[in-house]
A and B are shown apart, each in its own frame.
Chain A
């Protein structure tokens, strides 16, 4: 039996403007982006690399600045989801210390941005 949904008030953005919540939003949005990207990624890999002619055409396309930028954003999404996820695994299975939380978030954000920059600036 499901509990009935009763008319209630809900929170708005004023209750959400703190670091832990922002981390949640980043993790969820990056997860959605990656989940939507993956089927396309698998398709492109299987097509572009089993058909050599299509491969060259594809490579030309990926050299366009807009595509490079999109790739960098994807790398950022992947790195952010990884860093945030590792933080969560730590909190849930290693332990929670209140004084580590802000530091953990800062480290996660730093690692994600560093990866994206390493990729984006070399591309």
Chain B
């Protein structure tokens, strides 16, 4: 630490950080505590000044990319946007990798299953027009577009997926993020996937698995509500089934 860093320290903070793979354990470090310190600051300090072998992810460090998502004192959060003062419990900080995803090492998880499920839910746009067709006219105030606007800002950080207990109990469950993205596309008048997407999100691991626990909605750092999106999908699926169009 530099002289300036030492001068700004306000005592030490005991921090338990997960080390190793799924069969790893917590390792304790003592980190200088500073004003306005974020959890990401703590992790960076440990890796730079104490143990360079600590593995973790971050990129923007300003709450835009979602790369730094980890479990902090039991809850999934963006560590760059989590102030230590706001979450420290019993004078202690516990940092672990995101739940429900395979652990690569330390604080790094394998996001592949998360994005595989996104693809399985047909979370990608299916175009119907060509460059020679005029632009689609979508009224911004239409209910469908408002439904999309309310939940399109998802950046795929995985916090909702890690927060959902049904994901933990049912490995096949597509999860809140994939279903949320499917909802935005189902409401998109330009999209051509139609019943293919409805079938994709109505499987045994589909939208019916949601129990409205709302852990996803509570934990989403962008304040989206996958619970609302999934409720919308349930409505669509049930109506399609009863009309015989599924």
Contact = CB atoms under 8 A, between A and B. Distances in A.
A3 B75 contact: no
Contacts of A95: 231
B36 to A, nearest CB: 24
A24 B228 contact: no
A87 to B, nearest CB: 8
Contacts of A20: 212-215, 217-218, 227
Interface string B188-227: 0000000000000000000000011111011100000101
B168 A11 contact: yes
B97 interface: yes
B177 interface: no
Interface string B87-122: 000000000111111110000000001000000000
User: How extensive is the interface on chain B, given as a class?
Assistant: 35 or more
B121 to A, nearest CB: 14
A86 interface: no
B228 A7 contact: no
B99 A6 contact: no
B163 A11 contact: yes
A2 interface: yes
B90 to A, nearest CB: 12
A103 to B, nearest CB: 14
B234 interface: yes
A88 interface: yes
B74 interface: yes
Contacts of A13: 74
A17 B238 CA distance: 31
B100 A8 contact: yes
B99 A11 contact: yes
A102 B74 CA distance: 23
Contact of B163 (A15, A28, A98): A15
Please give me the 6 A-B residue pairs with the lowest Cβ-Cβ distance, nearest first. Answer: A14-B74, A20-B214, A7-B22, A96-B228, A6-B102, A24-B213
5 contacts: A8-B99, A11-B71, A11-B99, A14-B75, A24-B211
Interface of B: 18, 21-23, 71, 73-76, 96-103, 113, 162-163, 165, 168, 171-172, 211-215, 217-219, 225, 227-228, 231-232, 234-235, 238
Given A3-B113, A3-B172, A96-B225, 15 more contacts: A2-B171, A8-B103, A9-B96, A10-B99, A10-B100, A11-B168, A16-B165, A20-B212, A21-B214, A28-B211, A93-B235, A93-B238, A96-B227, A96-B228, A98-B225
